[in-house]
Amino acid sequence: MTKTFYITTPIYYVNGAPHLGHAYTSVAADVLARWHRLEGHDVFFLTGTDEHGQKVEAAAKLAGIPPQEFTDRVSDDFKDMARVMNISNDDFIRTTEPRHKAAAADIWLKLQENGFIYLGAYEGWYAVRDEAFYDEDETEKKPDGTRIATSSGATVEWVVEPSYFFKLSAFQDKLLELYEANPGFIGPQAKRNEITSFVKSGLRDLSISRTSFSWGIPVPGDEKHVMYVWLDALVNYLSACGYPDLSGPRGKYWPANVHLVGKEIIRFHAVIWPAILMAANLPLPARVFSHGWWTVEGEKMSKSVGNVTDVRELVAEFGLDQVRYFLLREVPFGNDGDFSRRALIGRINSDLANGLGNLAQRTLSFINKNAGAVVPPKGRLQEADLVLLEQCSQLPEKVRGAIGRLAFHEALDEIWRLIRAADGYIDREAPWSLRKTDTARMNSVLYVLCATLRSIGVVLQPFMPEQVGRLLDYLGVGDDRSLTILDSALAEGILLPAPAGLFPRIVEEQKNADR
């Protein structure tokens, strides 16, 4: 039976437009999904949008349209971003879809049946004007004794509203056991420590319904309440598998292998979500991995600064694969990073244009001009050839290891090590000299270079599907481009098309800095 691999991005909240951060999560998940497909696994890759809650209700009101129309619009924008980024998701779930509402209602009933839901009261500082609750430290007392919300200035009052609660406190020990028994459950390590100490500090029950607004999934049996958005949202990972009927075609994918999330929502995925699943007697995902945030030119992305970056503009200017490469190469996955034009251009020029692109071009165009435009005959290999080919044969395992740890930057670093080795090889062997003295040897060298480029291309496909696809075309690689083709030697004599540059060098116009 084929191994299944289920990977998710968070469902993106539709109260704002998609930006660089969303694209980052999706690209990382896409690389994982594509890698596992190369491995021959049965992959299910899910993304989508989270569309309920007070903020969405408010945003729709501001836009002057009904919430459903609003969410349709923003959800389409996220779909468009996925298309532009060449994200290979197998499904796109929306929490306003009937299949999801049914799943969420069923989970609620399961939690209730199992005795983990009770009716209590949610208390807090409520601003009628904002229709929102505030924490005490988000409010301040005015001289006349009334209390206002610091951010909006609206008067707040202490409100007690009935609310259903989830007995999260019952799962404290079980969660700690989970983290203990599965060190890889939360990644990276630093987040695991944070979450562990958070859980150790004591868990309170979680308010999971609201009566103060209505844009949500109704609580089964008590329709004055709508479900708390996070309970609603987390269930999406099950909804897409066909839950509550896990005997259907998608049921085999649950539990998920990886939930990729931004660091701001790790807690919901590493604490609340497993607790809910435990309470519903469902199997737990294998791993929750959180990545960092991007600043842009050293500054935090924010609407007020006006630097919220729509990745689609970057793609239009620099190319899709270039942006995908940068996102995963520049920063160790899990860390924060900075996105700057200068760093992006530096990566494109030194790694892609001068590195991979130039290696491919100098090899392929030489073959095109001097070796009959076919994969040259291998001939008798020498020590230097075998050394390089040995590095090729080790590459998939090295990349597999790095990707298994979600260390995308290390995977790319391994690949570039081989690119540099191949550049050294071509210089030392100098096929341009051999052309005049020993064409058999020249052919051997070119053959080894083709084989090297094939290895590099195959493992690089998940990162840069488009340009690397072209590279494999230029190398005459057929339809099967999975990792298994690297187990067989490259066939000689295949006709090769005329190559063209893969990654154009970026030349920035000199902005006359000197006055």
Partner RNA sequence: GGCGGCGUAGCUCAGUGGUAGAGCAGGAGAAUCAUAAUCUCUUGGUCGGAGGUUCAAAUCCUUCCGCCGCUACCA
Q: Contact residues for RNA (CB under 7 A)? A: 13, 15, 50, 52-55, 122, 124, 132-135, 138, 168, 190, 193-194, 197-198, 201-204, 206-207, 228-230, 233, 263-265, 267, 330-332, 335, 337, 346, 350, 353-355, 357-358, 360-362, 365-366, 369, 420, 423-424, 426-428, 430-433, 501-505
Please say which residue, 139 or 455, places its beta carbon nearer to RNA.
139
What is the rounded distance in angstroms from the CA atom of residue 304 to the CA atom of residue 314?
A: 20
**Least distance from RNA to the Cβ atom of residue 21, Å:** 10
Question: Among 388, 403, 496, which Cα is nearest to 452's?
Answer: 388
Residue 230 gets the label, from left (phi > 0), alpha (psi -120 to 50) or beta, of: alpha
Which residue, chain included where needed, has tokens 């900075």? 338
What is the rounded distance in angstroms from the CA atom of residue 398 to the CA atom of residue 390?
A: 13
Please say which residue, 201 or 304, places its beta carbon nearer to RNA.
201
CA distances from 322 to 30, 127, 343, 352, 359 (A): 15, 47, 12, 8, 17
Q: For 214, phi and psi rounded to 5 degrees? A: -125, -5
**Least distance from RNA to the Cβ atom of residue 19, Å:** 13
Is residue 71 within 8 A of residue 31, CB to CB? The reply is no
> Which DSSP state fits 374?
B
| Continuous segment of H or E residues that includes residue 165 | strand 155-166
What is the rounded distance in angstroms from the CA atom of residue 92 to the CA atom of residue 78?
A: 10
**Least distance from RNA to the Cβ atom of residue 42, Å:** 29
**Least distance from RNA to the Cβ atom of residue 264, Å:** 5
Q: In whole angstroms, what separates CA 416 from the centre of its chain?
A: 22
What is the rounded distance in angstroms from the CA atom of residue 411 to the CA atom of residue 188?
A: 17
What is the rounded distance in angstroms from the CA atom of residue 90 to the CA atom of residue 256?
A: 14
Please say which residue, 87 or 446, places its beta carbon nearer to RNA.
446
Please say which residue, 41 or 167, places its beta carbon nearer to RNA.
167
**Least distance from RNA to the Cβ atom of residue 230, Å:** 5
- Single-letter residue type at 31: V
**Least distance from RNA to the Cβ atom of residue 248, Å:** 26
**Least distance from RNA to the Cβ atom of residue 157, Å:** 15
> Which DSSP state fits 272?
I
Please say which residue, 4 or 335, places its beta carbon nearer to RNA.
335
Please say which residue, 25 or 37, places its beta carbon nearer to RNA.
25
**Least distance from RNA to the Cβ atom of residue 49, Å:** 9
Please say which residue, 121 or 489, places its beta carbon nearer to RNA.
121
Please say which residue, 412 or 490, places its beta carbon nearer to RNA.
412
Question: Among 246, 210, 252, 268, which Cα is nearest to 110's?
Answer: 246
**Least distance from RNA to the Cβ atom of residue 198, Å:** 5
Please say which residue, 3 or 420, places its beta carbon nearer to RNA.
420
CB atoms within 10 A of CB 350: 12
What is the rounded distance in angstroms from the CA atom of residue 105 to the CA atom of residue 235?
A: 10
β-pair type (4-13, 42-50): parallel
